[in-house]
Amino acid sequence: MGTLLEPENTELPACYERPDLPARPDPNHADCRGVASVLSRVGDKWSVFVIMMLSDGPKRFNELKRMINGISQRMLTLTLRGLERDGLVTRTIFPTIPPRVDYELTDLGRGLSRPVEALGKWAKEHLDQIEAARTKFDQRNEG
Amino acid sequence: MGTLLEPENTELPACYERPDLPARPDPNHADCRGVASVLSRVGDKWSVFVIMMLSDGPKRFNELKRMINGISQRMLTLTLRGLERDGLVTRTIFPTIPPRVDYELTDLGRGLSRPVEALGKWAKEHLDQIEAARTKFDQRNEG
DNA sequence: CTGCATCCCTTTCGATACTG
DNA sequence: CAGTATCGAAAGGGATGCAG
């Protein structure tokens, strides 16, 4: 049906899901299978922002669009569908005119928002160091 | 020079970095500038895996490659360069024959690894729920 | 207002072959 | 072993127009 909502490969690179592979005996090898599945969603920038935006309560479609400066309608739709599919967000339609649709984190989504916010916090606190490192690196490798 | 190591746009979508925009007065609006910059790195699956792999000590190039099943040589190189650029990883060359290169987390990188591991932990613990939600969603929307 | 479909350009990434 | 260079396929993502 909708090509928009079914990009054939919402999934991971083939290598990620390999139930045929045994969990690596190497203790240094973090078990990618599974972790990867969730990280691929968190790995999506827009998803992370939406989760952060929703962490303090339900929001409407255009409300989210305005809050996440720069996201296109298309990407917001795709992102929300992905989150809904993963059970992280609920979609509630109010059959009013004009229509109104609220998005809200599920319990699962709220749980995820905690480590995500921790990440965001770390990001804010260390942004300066990272930007300094980038500048330095770029200078040395090109001057 | 190297097209491999300098993909013109390692950066964020234009919308992300807008120092010209004031921090949104809307209290619901998380400050994207800055957070985005780090999340775009964490948002990269491979980066996350490399960080996790390195969290228990230095590793060699091919060692990492084997541990992260499925990553191509090219992507591992790009990922490591990106992490090095951000000051999260150090690269140490041993001028032996054959050559040996060790990658190790910096203090900054080790700091980041904590929230990243928290995310990984959450992922493992809730993978079942997410997969269940996906199955359910797919059934309802196509059955 | 919310959202789907299409066009189309850009970026990403894997495969492959080659070097110090 | 640890890269680098190049190429082609695929995915990402914006703009626009239409619909309930």
The pLDDT assigned to A69 comes to: 81
Alpha-carbon distance of A33 to A36, in angstroms, equals: 6
How confident is the model at residue A23, as a pLDDT?
A: 38
User: What's the confidence (pLDDT) of residue A136?
Assistant: 95
User: CA-CA distance, B43 to A106, in Å (whole number)?
Assistant: 22
| Residue A20: pLDDT over 50 | no
Q: Indicate whether A54 pLDDT > 90.
A: yes
Of A14, A15, A70, the CB nearest to B15: A70
Tell me what pLDDT residue B1 has: 44
B61: in domain: yes
- pLDDT in the model for residue A101: 98
Q: Is the pLDDT of residue A60 over 60?
A: yes
Task: List the beta bridge partners of residue A103.
Answer: A59, A91
Other Cβ atoms less than 10 A from the Cβ of B70: the count is 18
Q: Which of residues 1 through 20 in chain B touch A, CB cutoff 8 A?
A: 13-16, 18
Total of domains in chain B: 1
* Cα–Cα nearest to B40, from B82, B89, B103, B1: B82
Q: What are phi and psi of A91, to 5 degrees?
A: -120, 120
Q: Say if pTM beats, i.e. exceeds, 0.75.
A: yes
Judge whether residue A9 has pLDDT over 60: no
More confidently predicted of A36 and B26: A36
Interchain CB distance below 8 Å, A122 and B115: yes
**Closest by CA position to B30, among listed A109, A111, A120, A107:** A120
In a domain, B92, yes or no: yes
* Amino acid at position A106, single letter: T
* Spans in chain B with pLDDT lower than 50: 1-2, 6-30
A112-126, pLDDT tens digit by residue? 999 988 988 898 899
**Residue B51: what pLDDT?**
93
pLDDT of residue A2: 39
In this structure, is residue A98 part of a structural domain? yes
- Chain A residues with beta carbon closer than 8 angstroms to that of B126: 38, 108, 111-112
Name the DSSP letter for residue A141: T
Asked, for residue B110, whether it belongs to a domain, the answer is yes
Using only C-alpha atoms, chain A has a radius of gyration, in whole angstroms, of 19
Amino acid B121: pLDDT:
87
Q: How far apart are CA A64 and CA A44, in angstroms?
A: 16
Q: Strand D-proximal residues, CB under 7 Å? A: A 7-9, 44-46, 70-75, 98-99; B 1-5, 13, 15, 60-63, 73-74, 77, 80-81, 91, 98-101
Q: Using one digit for the tens of pLDDT, what is the confidence trace for A77-97?
A: 999 999 999 999 999 999 999
Which candidate, A117, A125, A112, A122, places its Cα nearest to that of A39?
A112
Pair A40, B45: CB distance under 8 Å:
yes
Is A15's pLDDT higher than 50? Answer: no
In a domain, B52, yes or no: yes
Please count the CA atoms within 13 angstroms of the CA of B14 that sit on its side-chain side: 1
Q: Which residue has the higher pLDDT, A63 or B45?
A: A63
- Torsion sign over Cα B138, B131, A85, B10: negative
CATH number of the domain within which A104 lies: 1.10.10.10
Has residue B29 been placed in a domain?
A: no
Nearest to A50 by CA among B134, B136, B30: B30
* Closest-CA distance of chain B to residue A111, Å: 8
The answer to whether residue B11 is domain-embedded is no
Q: What is the mean pLDDT of residues A48-64?
A: 93
* DSSP characters over B18-65: -TTSPPPS-TTS--HHHHHHHHHHHTSHHHHHHHHHHTTS-EEHHHHH
pLDDT of residue A44: 80
Longest dimension (CA), chain B: 60
Task: Confirm whether B30 is domain-assigned.
Answer: no
pLDDT on residue A123: 87
The answer to whether the CB of A34 falls within 8 A of the CB of B124 is yes
Structural domain harbouring A116: 36-140
**Cβ A91 vs Cβ B77: under 8 Å:** no
